[in-house]
């Protein structure tokens, strides 16, 4: 499967036109320059995804610990009441 298949540029809307405009203004007319720009974007996307996964993992751990603490608190309250 080709990584660079035909895409529906109408469906991409303003995103597509923003890139065409930016690449034109920056004289990115060669494949090498365009590939470098896309690679730079991919590096940042990977870094953002790694950060998102780390935050998601931390949030899950926090939520698990919160639930455990709430359970312990309920058990303590029950012991104090009885």
C-alpha–C-alpha distance, residues 65 and 33, integer Å: 48
Q: What is the residue whose two structure tokens read 């009885």? A: 82
> Cα torsion for 20, 21, 26, 27, to the nearest 10°?
60
Please write the tens of the pLDDT for every residue from 2-35: 777 788 888 888 988 888 888 889 888 888 888 8
* pTM, rounded to two decimals: 0.61
Q: How far is residue 78 from each of residues 26, 65, 67, 75, measured CA to CA in Å?
A: 68, 20, 17, 5
- If phi > 0 it is left, if psi is from -120 to 50 it is alpha, else beta; for residue 5 that is beta
């Amino acid at each position: 499967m080709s990584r660079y298949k035909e895409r529906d540029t109408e469906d991409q809307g303003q995103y597509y036109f923003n890139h065409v405009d930016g690449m034109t203004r920056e004289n990115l007319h060669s494949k090498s320059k365009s590939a470098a720009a896309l690679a730079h974007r991919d590096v940042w996307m990977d870094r953002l995804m790694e950060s998102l996964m780390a935050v998601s993992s931390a949030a899950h751990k926090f939520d698990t610990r919160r639930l455990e603490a709430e359970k312990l608190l309920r058990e303590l309250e029950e012991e104090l009441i009885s």
